Amino acid sequence: MTDTHCPYCALQCAMSITGGKVSPREFPTNRGGLCQKGWTAAELLTSPARLTTPLVRRDGELRPATWDEALDVVADGLRRLRAEHGPDAVGVFGGGGLTNEKSYLLGKFARVALGTSQIDYNGRFCMSSAAAAGNRAFGLDRGMPFPVTDLDGAGAVLLVGGNPAETMPPFVQHLRGAELIVVDPRRTATAELATLHLQPAPGTDLALALGLLHVAVADGHLDEDYRRERTTGFDAAWRIAASWWPERVERVTGVPVADQRAAVRVLAEARGAYVLTGRGTEQHASGSDTVSAWINLALALGLPGREGSGYGCLTGQGNGQGGREHGQKADQLPGYRKIDDPLAREHVRKVWGVDELPGPGRSAYELLDALGQPGGPKALLVFGSNVVVSAPRAAHVADRLAALDLLVVADLVLSETAALADVVLPVTQWAEESGTMTNLEGRVLLRQRAVAPPEGVRSDLDVLHGLAVRLGQPAERFPTEPEVVFEELREASRGGPADYSGVSYERLRRGEALHWPVVVDSTPRLFLDRFAHPDGRARFVPVDHRGPAELPDAEYPLQATTGRVLRHYQSGAQTRLVRELAEAEPETYVEVHPDTATRAGLAEGQLSAVVSRRGRTVARVRCVPSMRLDVVFLPFHFPGEGRANLLTNPVLDPTSRMPEFKVCAVRLEPV
C-alpha cells in the first residue's frame, strides 16, 4: 500500500493505492472522502489508450519511433530554428497539473537550455486574475491563506463563481456549519445547498460586488477600526462604490435589493465569515478588477487576516498554486519572484550557474496566437496541457498549431493536441512517479510512486534532461530524480515570497503540515499580524464595473457561460477514457431555459448548434427551468464539434491576461 494524493483538483484528496486499486484515507482536506473522479482514478493506470512509444510524423502520419530517434528529431529541429530565427523562435507551454519539480525544471529548461522568453502555461486560464488581485490587495498571492479546516467554524460563507459540489465534492463538508450565500448565474448543485442564491447576469459580478460594498457602508456594517488600523485606500474605492446604490445594481445584475441587503447582513452579523471566489468571477476581461471588488467587500467587513474569518480563492488545477510559483509562468522565476526584478534575476542566475536570463514573454493566449506568425515562435513544446480543447477561440488555436514548423507534445494519452504534433513523447502519470504538489491552501504535499510505469514510458524530467543534453547543456544541470530537483528548487525559492527552503522530502514523508512560506516553520495562516506590503496594510483597490466585452444583440441574443461538471476534469483527455465517467456524461450539452428553447425551435434531447462570432458548437439540449432566460451553459470537457471553446472570446484582462471564458454572445439553432 502506498499513500498518495488524487491526480485531479487542487483539493488534493488523500488516497492510498493497493494492487492498482484506490481507497480514500483520512486527511484534513477530504476527511476520508473522494468524488467519483477520485474513486475511478486508478483506471487510467491500465488504460489501453496509454501511450508507450514515442511517435514521429512521417509522410503525414504519426509513426512509432525509438526514444533516441524522437529526441534527436526534436533537438535537431530546435537547433535549426534557433539558429535561423533566434531563441524566441521556440515556445514552451506548461500545465497546472505538473508537479512542482516539473514546473521548476520546465521553466529552467526554457530559459537556460533554450534561452527563450516564450514560456507560459494553462494556469493563466485558471487563477491569474485572483493572483493579480491578491497581490494588489495583500502583497502576496496564496489562493487560500488559511487551512481549509478553518471554514468548519464559519458562521457564514459567501461563495462567488464556484461550484465545489461538482468540481471538488469533499470540500463541501467544510461549509455545512455556515449560512452559505452563492453567487452564480446558474442554479448549480452548490447553489441548491445555499441559504441564499444571488443569480446575476453573466459578466455583472463586479457591479454586484460594488453594490454589496455600498450596502455594507450605508447599512452601518463597515468595520471602522479594522479599516483604520489595517488597510489603506478605502476613500478611493468608496468614491466609486458610492454610486452603486442597490436599485442601480438590481437593474444591471438582476439581483433583488432585498437579497443584496440580506447577503451583507448575514456576513456582517456572523460569528465568523469568509468570502471565497472561483473561476466564475475571474474568467472575464475584467476578472482582476472583479476579484478586487470582492476583496474590497471582505476588507470593509474586516475579514482578511483574522482567525475565524478571511478571504480566499478556490484553486482549480491539481497544482494550480505551485504551478505558478516556480517559473513556468511568463513573468515569474522560482519562489514567486518577478522576472523583471534585478535582485530576483541575480539570485536565480547564481543558483542555475548561468550568466544571463531572458526577460518576460507572452502570456498563454498571446503565445498561442503568435505561433507561426511573423516574429512569433516557429516551434512549441507542450507539457501537461491540451490547448486544442481548453484554449479560447479553439479553432483559431488549432490553426496556429498547424502553422508551426515543429510541434512537440509530451502526454500520457493521444490528446487532441498531441494528435496534431510532429513528435509525441509518452510520459509517466501521477501514481507512476514521485513529486510534490501545492494544494489550494498552500500546503506542500508529497505524491509517492505507487506503481511502475509501462515499459517505454519516461518521466517529463527524463525528457527535459535528454533534450537539454542534446542541446549542449551539462547533464548535471538537469537532474532526473524528483528529490534532487526539489533540493535545487528549495535554494532557488529561498528568500522569495513562496519560500520553500524549509520544506524537504524528509519532513513531508513524516507527514508534517507545511504551508508556505517555510523557512523553518510552516505558515498555515497568513496576514494575522500584517499583510505583505511594506507598510503591513492591505490595499482597497478602486475598481468600476464595465461589463462583458461582448454584449447580446439581435443576431446573438443570448449569453453563453462555460464550466466544469462532476464527472469530468479540464479538457477531459483523461476522464473521457474512464468508462464509468464517460458513460455517465458521454457528450457535450447545452443547458437552456425551456421557454428559451421553445423560442429557438428546440426541445429536450434535440441537437442544437450554439453559434457565436467565432465558431459553432453542436450540443444536446437540456431544458433546465432554473436557468435565466437569457443564459445558456456548456461544459468545456469535450472534443471535436462539441468544444465549448469554439465559441469563447479571447479578449484579455489587461492585468492578468486572462481570457473572457465566462461570457460571450450566442444564438441557438436546430441541427
Instruction: Report residues of the chain scoring pLDDT below 50.
Output: none
Q: Residue 530 corresponds to which cell in the numbers above?
A: 500584517
Question: 329 and 465: one domain?
Answer: yes
Q: Closest Cα to residue 379, out of 91, 50, 25, 71?
A: 91
Please give the Cα distance from 507 to 186 (Å, whole number): 43
> Model-level pTM?
0.97
Q: What is the pLDDT of residue 316?
A: 86
Rounded to whole angstroms, how far apart are CA atoms 444 and 511? 10
182 and 218 housed in the same domain:
yes
Q: What is the DSSP string of 593-618?
A: -HHHHHHTT--TT-EEEEE-SS-EEE
Please enumerate in sequence order all residues whose Cβ is within 8 A of that of 372, keeping only pairs 6 or more positions apart, or say none: 378, 400, 402, 403, 404, 405
Residues with Cβ within 8 Å of 93's Cβ and at least 6 positions away in sequence, in order, are 119, 120, 121, 122, 364, 367, 368, 380, 381, 382, 383, 385, 387
| 392: preceding bond cis by omega (within 30 degrees) | no
Q: Distance between CA 427 and CA 410 in Å, rounded? A: 6
- Cβ neighbors of 599 (< 8 A, separation 6 or more) are none
For residues 411 and 408, what is the distance between their CA atoms, to the nearest angstrom? 10
Domain boundary among 270, 293, 314: 314
Alpha carbon distance 260, 218 (integer Å): 12
Is residue 52 in a domain? no
Helix (H, G, I), strand (E, B) or coil at 458: strand
Number of structural domains found in the chain: 4
Specify if 544 maps to a domain: no
How are beta strands 179-183 and 156-160 bridged, if at all?
A: parallel
The rounded distance, in Å, linking the Cα atoms of 188 and 270 is 24
Together in a domain, 365 and 504: yes
CA–CA gap between residue 157 and residue 270 (Å, rounded): 9
Q: What CATH number is given to the structural domain containing 39? A: 2.20.25.90
Cα dihedral value 467, 471, 472, 473, nearest 10: -50
Kindly report, residue by residue over 173-202, the tens digit of the pLDDT. Answer: 999 999 999 999 999 999 999 999 999 999
What pLDDT score does 19 carry? 85
Phi/psi for 660 (5° steps) reads: -90, 75
Residue 75 makes CB contacts below 8 A (sequence gap 6+) with 467, 470, 471
Pairing of strands 273-277, 156-160: parallel
For residue 48, the model assigns a pLDDT of 95
- Residue 203 within any structural domain of the chain: yes
pLDDT of residue 20: 85
Average pLDDT, whole number, for the chain?
97
Residue 358 lies in a domain: yes
Shared domain for 94 and 235, answered yes or no, is: no
Beta strands in 34-86 (DSSP E): 55-58, 61-64
Domain carrying residue 389: 62-125+319-509
Same domain, 486 and 621: no
Is residue 246 located within the same domain as residue 294?
yes
> Nearest to residue 43, comparing CAs of 25, 24, 20, 23?
20
Q: Is residue 262 part of a domain?
A: yes
| The three three-digit cell numbers of residue 194, written as one number | 445555499
DSSP assigned state of 50:
B
Q: Where are the beta strands (DSSP E) in 199-329?
A: 231-232, 273-277, 310-313
Strand 332-333 to 659-660 pairing = unpaired
Q: State residue 46's pLDDT score.
A: 94
E strand map for 388-539: 406-411, 423-426, 435-438, 444-447, 538-539
116 and 231: one domain? no
Indicate if 263 and 382 belong to the same structural domain: no
14 and 68 belong to one structural domain: no
